[in-house]
Amino acid sequence: MKKDILIPKVEDVYIAIVNEYNDIYKTQDWNAYIINNKAVDLEMVIIVTSGYSENKTTSVFRKKIDTLPKKSYAKIELMQEELFALNNTFKVSFFEGNQMFDKTYLFRKNTINLKALQPVPLMDVKGVLVK
């Protein structure tokens, strides 16, 4: 039965961790974003994040976005630098039309850092990107 279930491949949806200046607190913060680089809107976007290592696990964070318009992005959460020593997962589910899509994005431990910054689509900033 499982072999009969078609799970479509997610394309043009990314997760980026961006280091940006916070005008309110006058600090450099790391923020996670979801990017919809598709030509269609995403509906009922559910994002579940967590971090883990061999002996440590973070609490689970959930976020729902009713609609993520085409060629746009949305902030998911502020990330504390202590989390970068862990593997960080972002499980993303959404509807495109009447079809459900699902993908897990993984930032491996110690890969989120200033040396790993690269251009982020649509945002005109540099960050750590997982496609």
* pLDDT tens column, 19-71: 999 999 999 999 999 999 999 999 999 999 999 999 999 999 999 999 999 99
How far, rounded to the nearest angstrom, does the alpha carbon of residue 98 sit from its chain's CA centroid? 22
CA distances from 29 to 12, 15, 21, 81, 94 (A): 25, 16, 6, 9, 27
How far, rounded to the nearest angstrom, does the alpha carbon of residue 6 sit from its chain's CA centroid? 24
Question: In the block, which residue shows the tokens 């992005």?
Answer: 73
Q: How far apart are CA 20 and CA 5, in angstroms?
A: 41
Question: In the block, which residue shows the tokens 């699902």?
Answer: 102
Q: How does pLDDT run across 2-28, given as a tens digit for each residue?
A: 666 677 899 999 999 999 999 999 999
- Secondary structure of residue 3 in the 3-state scheme: helix
Q: Evaluate if pTM is beyond 0.85.
A: yes
Question: In the block, which residue shows the tokens 């862990």?
Answer: 86
Q: Which two tokens stand for residue 112?
A: 């989120």
Q: Which H helix or E strand runs over 126? A: strand 125-130
